[in-house]
Every structure is written in structure tokens, then in C-alpha cells.
Chain A
């Protein structure tokens, strides 16, 4: 159990266009979802934290008007990169946690497989 999916797994877009990445918890309710960005050979950089039905909390330096996050349901969060530019090219990873789930899963963050974004 505790599977997180992301779609698409990779996407190529033209500069100036917007791209939406979906993150779904397949077999549990994600009370909290996290979005990370990862550059090659580097660690995961937290972009924002979102709770279902609430506005996302962005980390310092992350433009909330550029990286729109919506957590409309307990199983779906979306990240929209608006007016994408080549410097937005990166690997984006979502992660989810179910704080109400008892036992071992309460303290675990489950990760999606990531989305590789390339902006031309």
C-alpha cells in the first residue's frame, strides 16, 4: 500500500507555455502533500507544502505565482508551472503523508516517481 503516482513522467514544452503536473495518492488519503525540485546530483529542495482544501505554503524564494499548487482533494494535488522558461527545467517530485493513518505509516512520507520537465 501507500502508492503515489505522478503524471506525466516527463514533459517537453516550449518557453512561455504552462505545464501541469498531477500527483495522486492511490490507496490512501493524503492529508499533506509536498512538492520538491531536484537538480542533477543534488538533494531535494522543498518548494511548498499543501494541505487539502488550504492554500499552499511556499518556501522562501519560490514564486507562488509561477508555481501554482492546488490540493483540491485528499488524493490529488497539482503543480502548474506557468509561463515556463528554460531555467524551470528540472525534476519535480511530489510526496504525500497521511497523518491520520495509524501505525507505521503515520510518520512516513511516500514519494511519487517524479516528473522530468524540459523547457525549450
Chain B
């Protein structure tokens, strides 16, 4: 079974600085997708960024970028120029295909210090 591990329960970053959240996963599939979701205090799940495993190029979305290392099964999220609104729980997730659900990590709570 696929598993997703987030080894940092909590992280903090100074406003305007850069922070990296770690995620590793385990799978025997060759084709899959990886996601980072943000859950602010409202608890609405928000998709931050996605990465297709077959793409070598790392995905970027404005201030958010990933470092996808397929061989190492690592998928970290870098947040640049951190803002107060980035404070939230961040979940790394994996999906392979069909009707299978997302597999979530345990999450990392990010605090942004003004």
C-alpha cells in the first residue's frame, strides 16, 4: 500500500523568508500524481500545487515550488517570500489512478512570524 510521510509536525518561518516542507512517499507504481494541499483555519482544503510523476520538470505556482526526486521518492514544497496568509496545515498527498482516493500524510503545521 502507498504511504506518505511528513516528518515535520510543525514548522515556523519569518515573514518574507523561505521555508521548505518535507514529504516522502512509498509506492511501487511508476505513474502517479503528487499534491500539496493547504488547510487554513477555515478547514477548507485548498490545492496548492500538483506534480505528475512522468514529468521531470518541477512544478511551480507563483511563490510555491516543489523539489520532486522520483528515485528518492521525495516531494518537498518550498514557499518563497512567506506571507502571514500562508500559515496553515499543509498536507502532502499521493494518487495513482481511477477511483482510488488521495493518500494523505499527517500534515505539517506552518506558522508565519511577523
Stretch at the interface among A20-28, A43-51, A61-69, A77-85: A43-51
Interface residues contributed by chain A, number (CB under 8 Å) = 22
0/1 per residue, B24-56, Cβ < 8 Å to A? 000000000100000000111101001010000
0/1 per residue, A63-106, Cβ < 8 Å to B? 00000000000000000000000000001010101010000000
Stretch at the interface among B15-23, B65-73, B74-82, B91-99: B91-99
A108 touching B43 in the complex, CB below 8 Å, given contacts A43-B104, A43-B106: no
A49 touching B101 in the complex, CB below 8 Å, given contacts A107-B33, A107-B95, A111-B44: yes
Most B CB within 10 A of own CB, among A95, A109, A113: A109
Are B101 and A34 within 8 A (Cβ)?
yes
Would you call the interface of chain A mostly helix, strand, loop, or mixed? Answer: strand
How far is the CB of B20 from the nearest CB of chain A, in Å? 20
How far is the CB of B12 from the nearest CB of chain A, in Å? 16
Closest to B93 in A: A109
Are B105 and A43 within 8 A (Cβ)?
yes
Q: Is residue B102 contacting chain A, with contact meaning CB distance below 8 A? A: yes
6 A-B pairs with CB atoms under 8 Å apart are A41-B109, A43-B91, A43-B106, A44-B91, A111-B44, A113-B43
Interface residues contributed by chain B, number (CB under 8 Å) = 19
How far is the CB of B51 from the nearest CB of chain A, in Å? 11
A108 to B99, CA, bound (A): 11
How far is the CB of A4 from the nearest CB of chain B, in Å? 10
Residues of A within 8 A of B42 (CB): 113
Are B106 and A49 within 8 A (Cβ)?
no
Residues of B within 8 A of A38 (CB): 43
Residues of B within 8 A of A93 (CB): 43, 45
A111 to B33, CA, bound (A): 17
Are B106 and A99 within 8 A (Cβ)?
no
Give chain A interface residues in 30-65, CB to chain B under 8 Å. 31-32, 34, 38, 41-44, 46, 49, 51
How far is the CB of A7 from the nearest CB of chain B, in Å? 15
Closest to B99 in A: A32
A103 to B49, CA, bound (A): 16
Are A51 and B43 within 8 A (Cβ)?
no
